Structure formats: structure tokens, C-alpha cells
Structure 1
Amino acid sequence: MTPELSDVRHLFTAIDHVGIAVPDLDEAMTFYREAYGMEVLHEEVNEEQGVREAMVGVGDSGSCIQLLAPLTPESTIAKFLDRNGQGIQQLAFRVDDVEHVADVLRGRGLRLLYDAPRRGTSDSRVNFIHPKDAGGVLVELVEPAAGAH
């Protein structure tokens, strides 16, 4: 492995969650609970991101499904639903230091959506890799809040 790529395996520590855009959060939570037997671990409204969301646990893995419903017709999730319908909206990787990972990725020519991390679920710090630089996938970088996970 070349020296400039030797830290790749250390950038991401786990798959944190897969984000699913849904038109109705209550209906989606009921489906995941009743059809799959999954437990809703956390629910919140994130005004800054324009979503009402729930984290649904996947077994004992520590990974989650994030259900995202729009707060307004102008929100990013509402626009996603209008374009694509319900479905996978993002893949999120857990990181130890979102700013460091963002700097490394920018150094490798990838664009991030924000200049600085923003607040994510449960006070995590997040940023996103532009889908055009990640094979058409919106990739979220998640640094959990202290004491989370």
C-alpha cells in the first residue's frame, strides 16, 4: 500500500447507518417494528436539516437504519422524495474525527457539502461527501457525540 493511502482503513471506523427517506415517519417506524422486529432507539426533530428522524437498531451490531421524513415541502428530504420516491438516501460512515477525515478527503480531491461539520442526530457532528465524487452515493461522515455508540 502506498504511503499516501496507508490511512484509508483508519478513516472510517464502521458503517454507522443507512438513511432511508420516507414520507411518513410514524408509518415507517411501525413497519420496521412490526415487519422486521426492530426497535426504535431514538427519535428527534432536526430543524437545521429539515427532518423528523428515527434511528432503528439493527440487531446487536451497533448499526442503524435512519428513517428521515421531511418537515417542510422545501426540505432536502422532501425534494429527494419528489425526485426518487421512498428509498435509500445516504450511506453513513462512523469516524473518530470528522474534521480530520474531511481534510484528508478534500486533499484527495473530493468535495464536501459543508465547510465545517454540522449537528447531526443525537448531537453528532456530520459532513457529507458530494454524491458526484462518491459514485452517485451521498456519503455521510458521522462523529458520534461523546458517550454515544
Structure 2
Amino acid sequence: MSQEKHNVDQTKAICFAKNVNHIAITVEDINHTIKFYSEIFGSDLVETHVIEDQEVYAAVIEIGDCKLEFIQPIDSNSSIAKFIDKKGFGLHHLCLEVSNLGNVLTKLDLKGINLIDKQPREGLVGDIAFIHPKSMGGVLMELVDSDSIRRN
């Protein structure tokens, strides 16, 4: 199968992604996972949080320029716990940095993209919104407003 190269005018993109902010992974034991990644990959722990409204423990590590976010449910009835029951542990979402998230969400909605969040909300890394996996080839996509990112 040959692949065609597509030259894209980035100024016309609905949602031009500046960067991958992080990859989120659901885990059974966040402390074990942090220790494992540190021992195997020499990763640095950046931060840990309890995100009460999502009922999860979250930890962010860095491996080079890449950030991984580990997510462990606090409550067995949380949406993350239900996600794990359905799909198992592993990849949860990919987070991309965009400019002017509110405007991006309006454009995506007008284009018929299935949005979980139609307005930005506060998240672990900054102002965020999620796009439903049905619109993204089965991948849950998080967008973070690049101007709101909390840098460590």
C-alpha cells in the first residue's frame, strides 16, 4: 500500500495541535507504577494529585520530553473504574495542546464532532475538554488550552 503525502495548510485546520501534552494510562496501583517506571526507564515524578470530581489519583512522570499521566480510580463506581471494567487497564486518552480552546470547541461542534465537553473546564494540566472516541477513531482525545497550561 503506497501512502500519499498530504500538504496541509495549518492555518485552515479546525484544531491545529501544537504539541502532544501527555498520554494517560489507567493503572491498578499508582505507587507501584511510579516505582516501576522509575526503575525501568529512569523517569522523574513531576506531580501527584487527587482529582476529587473525577474520583481518581493522578501522577505525572517525564521520560525525556514525554509526559505520562497515570490514573487510578479512588471509587469503584467512578467513571474511570467503569472504563477499566469495560476496557481493562492501559491507554485512556491522548492530550493535545491547542490555542483558544473555547473557539476550537465551537468550530468542532459546528463540524459535527461529538464533544464530551462543549466548554473548557479545569483539569490537571490546565483548561481542558474531551472529544468522544466515536469521533476520533476509538481514541478518547483531551484538548488543553496552551495558554492555561501549568508548567512544572
TM over 0.5: yes
Distance 1:66 1:146, change over 3 A: closer
- For residues 2-22 of structure 1, the C-alpha deviation after alignment (integer angstroms, 9 at most, x for no partner) is 98x743286211011111001
Counterpart position of 1:20: 25
Q: Which runs of 4+ in 1 moved over 6 A?
A: none
For the pair shown, the structure with the greater C-alpha radius of gyration is 2
Q: Is the 8 A contact 2:59 2:70 kept in 1?
A: yes
Shift of 1:58: 2.2
Q: 1:125–1:25: structure 2 CA closer, same or farther, 3 Å change rule?
A: same
Matched position secondary structure for 1:48 = helix
Report whether the alignment pairs 1:29 with 2:31. no
> What CA distance in whole angstroms lies between the structure 2 residues aligned with 1:115 and 1:108?
13
**Are residue 121 (structure 1) and residue 124 (structure 2) matched?**
yes
CA RMSD in angstroms comes to: 2.2
Query: How many residues were matched structurally?
Result: 145
Identity %: 30
TM-score normalized with structure 2 length = 0.85
- Residues 98-109 of structure 1: pairs in structure 2 closer than 5 A: 98-109=101-112
Relative to the length of structure 1, the TM-score reads: 0.87
Q: How many angstroms apart in 2 are the aligned matches of 1:80 and 1:104? A: 28
1:1-149 correspondence runs (5 A): 6-8=11-13, 11-59=16-64, 61=65, 63-122=66-125, 124-144=126-146, 145=148, 148=151
Per-residue Cα deviation, 1:5-61 (whole angstroms, up to 9, x for no partner)? 7432862110111110011111111111111111111111111122110111120x2
Ranges in structure 2 where 5+ consecutive residues have no aligned partner: 1-6
CA, structure 1 residues 147+119, in 2 after alignment: closer, same or farther (shift >3 Å)? closer
